[in-house]
Amino acid sequence: MAKIICVLYDDPVSGYPKTYARDDLPQPERYPDGQTLPTPKAIDFKPGTLLGSVSGELGLRKYLEANGHQLIVTSSKDGADSVLDRELHDAEIVISQPFWPAYMTAERIAKARKLKMIVTAGIGSDHTDLQAAMEHNVTVAEVTYCNSNSVAEHVVMTTLALVRNYIPSYKQVINGGWNIADCVSRSYDLESMNVGTVAAGRIGLRVLRLLKPFDVKLHYLDRHRLSASVEKELNLTHHTSLESLTKVCDVVTLNCPLHPETEHMINAKTLANFKRGAYLINTARGKLCDRDAIVAALESGQLAGYGGDVWFPQPAPADHPWRTMPHHGMTPHISGTSLSAQARYAAGTREILECYFEKRPIRDEYLIVQSGKLAGVGAHSYSAGNATKGSEEAARFNKK
């Protein structure tokens, strides 16, 4: 019998949904690069239901308990008295989501003597100390591509919301006002602007494709250059340095993974190279940016807006300055956990578990660390090391 700890975000404050806004859930047949959607042998949930919070359990309980395993589902993940820390000592598998991450630090991995696998129900394994996972021979896996398109849609939405000054305009209506001048004094057209992505992988490339119809000039920075045919199709300008991209772009979107090489890549020095009044969109990871440098850039006008769906740590303490800085479009890391995406990453998590228990290979697209080294997509996208330092601050969220 294996003990599995599944860390998920809390249920809705109004109670777990009994009905939903829609009756069906349109899904793609496969991903744009041809990769298939998750292929578990079965699922024990109805697609379109809330799976990512505690009561949803990622639809895993029936499958795991029928096979003799123990499943503990909790939202209590931070601090020494958390359920995660109390139960970790004999856990074989830990599952969590990027939106409410179980920070698997070196200390926690060392404590979990029976730990064999850490799974991200979603994309992004930076909440795990990958170096410690390699040293302890712990497999790390994630459901690659499951919510890439979901995040890309959020990037486009946030870009338009900031450039068109949508959020203050919406607040005018809520507050009973009608001052059009206030609304439009910071509103521009996206058309003809220069838009650049830092990383053009699954999410970044999707963002470029979605933005092309807006007649913008598209740019990208990536160490893996796209094919000549894609560059021609999208009329892309390739950059080899962050400075080269940011000095010409009106909108910059971050779509790269967090690891030691990218941590705090956006800081006071690099922000000084941005065009004055640029917009920065970050749906990747909060720690790509220096927290206080973002605040200062918005206050000085160097940035006209910051649209972030990601924070560090998560959940962010109530006094986190990104909650109150000017001209922001912050959300609590929801971009990749739409009900559509949940159906895919819950199925992908089930597929990973089936492979693990049946001793079948986990597909390369899902592997980050295996057999003591970076593996699969992890070898392509990550570097060895640790990006979890400071995650203990997440415990302050519950001390409001």
Which sequence positions are flagged as catalytic?
147, 285, 314, 333
Question: φ and ψ at 46, to 5 degrees?
Answer: -95, 120
Buried b / exposed e along 184-202 (16+ C-beta atoms within 10 A)? eebebebeebbbbbbbbbb
Q: Which residue type is seen at 378?
A: G
Taking the C-alpha atoms of residue 203 and residue 188, their distance in angstroms, rounded to an integer, is 25
Bond before 313 cis per omega within 30 degrees: yes
Match 């609590």 to its residue by tokens: 332
**Smallest Cα–Cα separation from 258: which of 191, 196, 198, 318?**
198
Q: 37 with 347: CB under 8 angstroms?
A: yes
Q: Dihedral through CA 98, CA 101, CA 107, CA 110, nearest 10?
A: -70
Q: Which residue type is seen at 28?
A: P
Beta strands in 55-147 (DSSP E): 70-74, 93-96, 117-120, 139-142
Q: 293 with 271: CB under 8 angstroms?
A: yes
The residues with which 120 forms a beta bridge, in sequence order, are 96, 142
**Burial (Cβ within 10 Å: 0-12, 13-18, ≥19) of residue 23:** exposed
Q: Which tokens is 336 given?
A: 């990749």
Reported as type and span, the H/E element at residue 253 is strand 251-254
What is the SS3 assignment for 289?
strand
